[in-house]
Structure 1
Amino acid sequence: MNHSIRTVIIDDEPFSRDELTFLLQQHNEIDIVAEADSGEKGLELVIKHEPDVIFVDIEMPQMSGLDLATALQSLKKVPLIIFATAYPNYAAKAFRVQALDYLVKPFAEEQIGETIARIRERLSLNEKVETPIQPSKVARLAVEDEGRIVYLLPNDITFVFREARDTRISTNHRTFSTKTPIKDLEEKLKGYPFFRTHKSYLVNLDKVEQLIPWFNGAYQLKVTGQKQEIPVSRNYVKALRERLEL
């Protein structure tokens, strides 16, 4: 993702807005396009500017941050929602309205950096989902196996995962081991229906049979011919469902 991250800050406390603005501006990719001092004004600005992400307080008069997040779900383009609040006890409700992250005041620079990394990762993932799959130049995947080179058809691969220092490539018949990082294999398999469900797992979506709720918004996948269930990080669930469902 090369473009800037268009951002709106919504908080009824001027000092909190100033503090958050200062911390966010330390990151070059953040472009703060507007600020609002109420949920109602924030809703107007989101509709006007169509930001990539909003940072919103929860406790505000009239329209709370949770009310605003609920109202945003009806928009065609829903921004990523980051709650920035002094109240830690709203976290469960926050994630029910699809919040990407939950920051508790006073903000720490490290905490803001981790949140921006999550935003960047989610936006990059969304770009991949929206980009039509281009035909791949790679007909088969070459894997070293006991001194030989084995050529695997991508459609025969069920999933790829990282184990210790090796990458494992699983088919219905056996599992191969390679030193190639998952990131490189993901690049080679771009023209095929593979999806990164977790930092350590890459899955062939044609092999998916079930999506099983796990805990804290995470899921597990059941794939054809495999007993092992594959983890799906909660940050990837929405994009995964969009790829899998009609």
Structure 2
Amino acid sequence: MKALIVDDEPLALDRLELDLECVAEVTEVARARNGAEALSVMTAFEPDLLLLDIEMPGRDGLQVAAAAAALPHPPDIVFVTAHREHALQAFELEAVDYLLKPVSFERLRTAVRRAAERRRARGSDERFAQLQEKLAELSSRREGEPERPRFEETLWAPDTGGAVRIRVDDVECLLAEGDYVSIYTPSGSKLVRETLTAMQTRLDPARFLRVHRSAIVALSQVRSLRRRTGKGATLILNSGRTVAVGPSYAADVVKALGLAKTK
């Protein structure tokens, strides 16, 4: 913390400065000999902590404290005085502490640490308030936006002694086998207990297409399409695997592959 000492007694300034140099929380010290000088130094120095005598010529310490409280970043205040009678006014100004001269080093260090703790707590509160504002801003931005569905990037299948992870990017096709689905990748296939319809809801429709009541293919894995007799067709995948296209799915397949005739 940066500390500003304000006292019209040079010896008091010297002693406080020496003591503060031994307090770990204080990183820099400035001095002022009266209230007017204190206000000038505060503007340029921007102290975190103000150690104020009360009885001074011109503006007294209470007036300086009131002026400091109006600054954009007001310092914490510790009064250091020989007069007991101003304690109530001091704490009405939310002073951290009220020290009576002569001040012991331990008492001064306790007051400084109390000020540092108050500053940390205030900083934490401010950061929390800023976080709340940012969250509220993000929430307001999202109001009215449709919720984006999340699709799987990883599938899990039973394996000997446990389970194996399958990257969706590696999937070629999925074929229904009753209440099971076989997931095919270039390295082989894995069987999972799930219906094809349930699996379809977990996959991005921009990447995977239902081409048969028993088959879903990854569009990126389709190498070619061959028409069969009647209304059916067959997809040839990059691995050479073939997948039948059901007659009722043919139009969707042609459209998804960009093969629809343009007029």
TM-score normalised to structure 1 length = 0.51
Unmatched runs of 5 consecutive residues or more in structure 2: 133-263
1:60 correspondence with 2:56? yes
Unmatched runs of 5 consecutive residues or more in structure 1: 136-246
5 Å matches for 1:16-55? 16-55=12-51
Aligned to 1:100: 96
The residue identity in structure 2 corresponding to 1:114 is T
1:70 correspondence with 2:49? no
Greater mean alpha carbon deviation, residues 55-64 or residues 122-131: 122-131
Task: Encode CA deviations 1:18-46: one digit per residue, 9 max, x unaligned.
Answer: 11111111112212341000100001111
5 Å matches for 1:112-127? 112-127=108-123
The higher relative CO (CA closer than 8 Å, separation ≥ 6) is in: 1
Is the 1:33–1:49 Cα contact (8 Å) retained in structure 2? no
Provide the C-alpha distance between the structure 2 equivalents of 1:75 and 1:41, rounded to a whole number of angstroms: 16
- Percent identical across equivalent pairs? 35
**CA shift for structure 1 position 88:** 1.4
Is the 2:25–2:113 Cα contact (8 Å) retained in structure 1? no
Provide the C-alpha distance between the structure 2 equivalents of 1:131 and 1:62, rounded to a whole number of angstroms: 39
5 Å matches for 1:166-181? none
Aligned to 1:192: none
**CA shift for structure 1 position 132:** 3.6
5 Å matches for 1:173-212? none
The RMSD of aligned alpha carbons is 1.6
Aligned to 2:126: 130
Distance verdict in 2 for CA 1:52–1:69, change over 3 Å: same
Aligned residues: 131
1:111 correspondence with 2:107? yes
Task: Encode CA deviations 1:142-165: one digit per residue, 9 max, x unaligned.
Answer: xxxxxxxxxxxxxxxxxxxxxxxx
Provide the C-alpha distance between the structure 2 equivalents of 1:76 and 1:124, rounded to a whole number of angstroms: 17
Provide the C-alpha distance between the structure 2 equivalents of 1:122 and 1:65, rounded to a whole number of angstroms: 21
Provide the C-alpha distance between the structure 1 equivalents of 2:113 and 2:71, rounded to a whole number of angstroms: 25
Provide the C-alpha distance between the structure 2 equivalents of 1:50 and 1:43, rounded to a whole number of angstroms: 10
1:9 correspondence with 2:5? yes
Matching residue within 64, 75, 82 for 2:78: 82
Aligned to 2:175: none
Provide the C-alpha distance between the structure 1 equivalents of 2:14 and 2:56, rounded to a whole number of angstroms: 17
**CA shift for structure 1 position 54:** 0.6
Larger radius of gyration: 2
The residue identity in structure 2 corresponding to 1:82 is V
